[in-house]
Amino acid sequence: MSFQAYLDNIEDKTGLTPRQLITQAQEKGFDAPGTKAGVIVDWLKADYDLGRGHAMAIVHVLKNGDKVGGKDAAEGEKLWLEGKASKPA
C-alpha cells in the first residue's frame, strides 16, 4: 500500500481529509517541537478510532510535510492532503 493510499484510507475511516486532521493537530499544539508521536496517536485513537499505522501516517505528515520517500523531501512523492474527491487524475 502506498503512503497516499494510507492517507486516502484515513479519509474513508474518519470522514476528514488529511489536511483537516493536520489542522486539528496544529490547533491542539501537536506540531510543537518535542511533541511525542504517542500523544498524537492516542488522540487519533480516542477521537477517530485510528490504528497505530494510520495515526503514524498523520504524525509523519505533521512532522515532515507533504512529501515522502527519496533521500530528501525534494526527491520524494508529493502527497495529496486535500481529500480524494479533489485529487487530480
* Distance separating alpha carbons of residues 89 and 60, to the nearest angstrom: 24
Listed by start position, the domains of the chain span 3-82
**Mean pLDDT, the chain, as a whole number?**
91
User: What is the SS3 assignment for 48-75?
Assistant: HCCCHHHHHHHHHHHHHCCEECCCCHHH
Q: Do residues 8 and 84 touch, judged by C-beta distance below 8 A?
A: yes
Q: What is the largest CA-CA distance in the chain?
A: 37
Report angle CA 69, 15, 26 to the nearest 5 degrees: 60
25-63 confidence digits (pLDDT tens): 999 999 999 999 999 999 999 999 999 999 999 999 999
Mean pLDDT of 1-7: 87
Q: What is the mean pLDDT of residues 7-19?
A: 96
Enter the pTM of the model: 0.88
* Contact between residue 48 and residue 9 where contact means Cβ atoms under 8 Å apart: no
pLDDT band at 77 (very low <50, low <70, confident <90, very high): confident
